Amino acid sequence: MSEYVFTSESVSEGHPDKVADRISDSVVDLYLGADPEARVACETMVTTNRIILAGEVRGPESVQGDIEEVARNAVREIGYEQDGFHWKNAVFENHLHEQSADIAMGVDAAGNKDEGAGDQGIMFGYACDETESLMPAPIDFSHRILKSLAAARHSGEAPELEPDSKSQVTLRYVDGKPVGATSVVVSTQHKDGVTQEDLRALVRKHVESVLPEGWMCPEGEFYVNPTGKFVIGGPDGDAGLTGRKIIVDTYGGAAPHGGGAFSGKDPTKVDRSAAYAARYLAKNVVAAGLANNCTIQLAYAIGISKPLAVYVDLWGDQPRVDPQHLSNVLQQMVNLSPRGIREHLGLNKPIYTRTSSYGHFGRKPTDDGGFSWEKTDLVDALKSEFGI
């Protein structure tokens, strides 16, 4: 279609599922900080004044005594000090246990066998030229609105706000490019007594600061707390589980998803590391000018080191380069085995807590190795290979 609308949503760090993701990734960082080769698959459930951990780990016993403190600190940093969910008062249960020996046998290197994938599965990466971050505009704006509100809450600028919030942005596209918002929805938890009018005015400032000039939706399509009140929120209002916001974590529905969650998993799990690698490759393809949109799919089998398939889709009837040739070139540039991905992107580090909210993609790489999959260091080599 030459003209259409597309919608994506985001949820804040205080959303119940994101609280669970934050705790799970904090446990991953705890283990990787003590041993870069540690194995972690940590699932978290949060509900009214209760935090429950389950899953499998393999790493130093010395860190086990720190798990509860790490979990409570994650909740405290988000800002939960409510009667129904409080970082200090919540009941804590830890049911983490040793990793299955059968899984370890398939994943570990032995003799001439390289490390295998931690599970079978398909992973997708995507990039497009709609934003500077090479992310789809609807999810990019949705994340940025909530990050702006959270920054105001943490700084004390907006003390009437509480941690739980959601946003949804619908953009109108003309000839494949976004041109403006047709509707914006923001639901944010707030202290009791805040009026709807005051909340609407507060949220409007943050929405208008994120959207490009002239892109604000019509007044009648700007929705703030449509139910009229949002005082009870977070895990007290709705139970949260690790890994339930996989579309929020990735591309907002603008690209396929393999189905595997990221948070709580160490980088031997290709659900996480291969999805990062696929984004890394797709972003470099678009940044090099080889395509306006790029989707990459990787497929793995448990215990097998090499990917079973590397599929490249450049979106269009007449792509600028041959997708199969590009697939071969990318595989020559980056070793897509689980070990190769971890080494190329430097993933065996405690860099994951920061990924647990506002998306795993479209962020800026940091000096300590965080968001390394957002680097565009393959651009020059790709341009040279394809004569661009």
Task: Mention the CATH class of domain 3-11+137-232.
Answer: alpha beta
pLDDT score recorded for residue 112: 47
Residue 245 labeled ligand binder: yes
pLDDT score of 86 more than 50: yes
pLDDT score recorded for residue 317: 63
Query: Domain spans of the chain?
Result: 3-11+137-232, 16-107, 121-129+243-385
Residues 256-269 have a mean pLDDT of 96
Residue 244 labeled ligand binder: yes
pLDDT score recorded for residue 103: 60
Active site residue 271: yes
Residues 184-205 have a mean pLDDT of 96
Active site residue 265: yes
- Cα distance between residue 195 and residue 315, in whole Å: 47
Residue 229 labeled ligand binder: yes
**What percent of the chain stands above pLDDT 90?**
91
Selecting among 9, 43, 313, 385, the annotated active-site residue is 43
Q: Tell me, yes or no, if the two domains 16-107 and 121-129+243-385 fold the same way.
A: yes
> With the C-alpha atoms ordered 205, 209, 210, 214, is the resulting torsion angle positive or negative?
positive
pLDDT score of 55 more than 70: yes
Active site residue 244: yes
pLDDT tens for each residue of 128-137: 999 999 999 9
Higher-pLDDT residue of 108 and 13 is: 13
pLDDT score of 270 more than 70: yes
Residue 82 labeled ligand binder: no
Q: How does the average pLDDT of the chain come out, rounded? A: 94
Residue 17 labeled ligand binder: yes
Active site residue 239: yes
Active site residue 56: yes
Confidence of residue 319 (pLDDT cuts 50, 70, 90): confident
Residues 167-187 have a mean pLDDT of 97
Higher-pLDDT residue of 109 and 190 is: 190
- Cα distance between residue 339 and residue 346, in whole Å: 10
Q: How many residues does the chain have?
A: 388
Residues 178-207 have a mean pLDDT of 97
Residue 90 labeled ligand binder: no
pLDDT score of 111 more than 60: no
The overall pTM is greater than 0.75: yes
Cβ-proximal residues to 64 (8 Å cutoff; 6+ apart), any chain: none
Residue 43 labeled ligand binder: yes
pLDDT score of 156 more than 90: yes
Active site residue 238: yes
**Which residue is listed with tokens 């680097």?**
375
Selecting among 17, 119, 130, 374, the annotated active-site residue is 17
Selecting among 144, 147, 190, 244, the annotated active-site residue is 244
- Cα distance between residue 347 and residue 150, in whole Å: 27
Selecting among 124, 222, 230, 361, the annotated active-site residue is 230
The answer to whether the CB of 241 falls within 8 A of the CB of 339 is no
Selecting among 58, 153, 190, 269, the annotated active-site residue is 269
Active site residue 15: yes
Active site residue 41: no
Residues 35-59 have a mean pLDDT of 97
Query: Domain spanning 121-129+243-385 has what CATH number?
Result: 3.30.300.10
Is 16-107 a CATH 3.40.50.1370 domain? no
- Cα distance between residue 233 and residue 161, in whole Å: 11
Which of 87, 83, 5, 9 has the alpha carbon at shortest distance from 46?
87
Confidence of residue 163 (pLDDT cuts 50, 70, 90): very high
pLDDT score of 320 more than 70: yes
Residue 15 labeled ligand binder: yes
Selecting among 50, 54, 56, 104, the annotated active-site residue is 56
pLDDT score recorded for residue 101: 62
Is 331 exposed, middle or buried, given 0-12, 13-18 or 19+ CB atoms closer than 10 A?
Answer: middle
